[in-house]
Amino acid sequence: MINIIPAIDIIDGKCVRLTKGDYNQKKEYSASPLDMALRYQDIGIRRLHLVDLDGAKSSSPKNLRVLEEIATRTSLDIEWGGGIKSDEALRDAFNAGANHLIVGSVAVANSDLFARWLDNFGGDHLILGADVADGRVAINGWLEQSELTIEALIDRFRPHGLREVICTDIAKDGMLQGPTFELYSQLQNAYPAQDIIVSGGISCMDDIYRLDEMQLRHVIVGKAIYEGRIALEDIAAVYK
């Protein structure tokens, strides 16, 4: 069965969700990031997707206290993204308890640096984050669009041991209308040695089952859980 990775997006230490990556379309939820992480752990989730949205807009992580708290209080395998743009930010996030770091903007703007990080830390610990809009990769919290395609970005880092790619279709993110199935299927077929992690648009368990049938390996789920479209009991049933 496809691995379900719940997402927790953080602004000012709180759980939020954006629509199409728009910071002006923010919805805040009452549960704390730690409370949600503990709930996920209790139902059998093994891996957690944490995004520091404050860090994504700036040059460094801004919510490392949340990361440290979750890493200390749970045994979850944590992937962390947002503001990983320097050696110092990389060290700080690892020291705070991240098992994997998601790098997006740097991979586009300073590909040599990300290649060096991959060489030094390996593909088990670094994940390429590729946020796609209109066929091109967006950076800096989705506020800027590059000229690179996701295929060109993956090809750049394959020789350096790239193993995992989180691909987010910005047009689908937070819309609860289903993911772009064809995009993910094509990417996974084109890059069988890499795990293409689906992100954006998951609306129900049927979306997840369909991705599983298409032999996708990992899927990130966020807003559908917070909005009650997917119950924790549904996810728990997958892990029984």
Q: Tell me the per-residue pLDDT of 162-171, one tens digit each, with 9 for 90 and over.
A: 999 999 998 8
Tell me how far apart the alpha carbons of residues 169 and 161 are, in angstroms, rounded to a whole number.
24
Which residue is listed with tokens 């993956």?
154
Tally of structural domains, the chain = 1
Q: What's the whole-model pTM score?
A: 0.94
| CATH number of the domain bearing residue 163 | 3.20.20.70
131: annotated active-site residue:
yes
Residue of 9, 54, 169, 173 marked active site: 9
Domain that residue 221 falls in: 3-238
pLDDT digits (tens, 9 = 90+) for 101-154: 999 989 999 999 999 999 999 999 999 999 998 878 987 766 678 889 999 999
Residue of 52, 54, 131, 207 marked active site: 131
Residues 215/195, Cβ–Cβ less than 8 Å:
no
9: annotated active-site residue:
yes
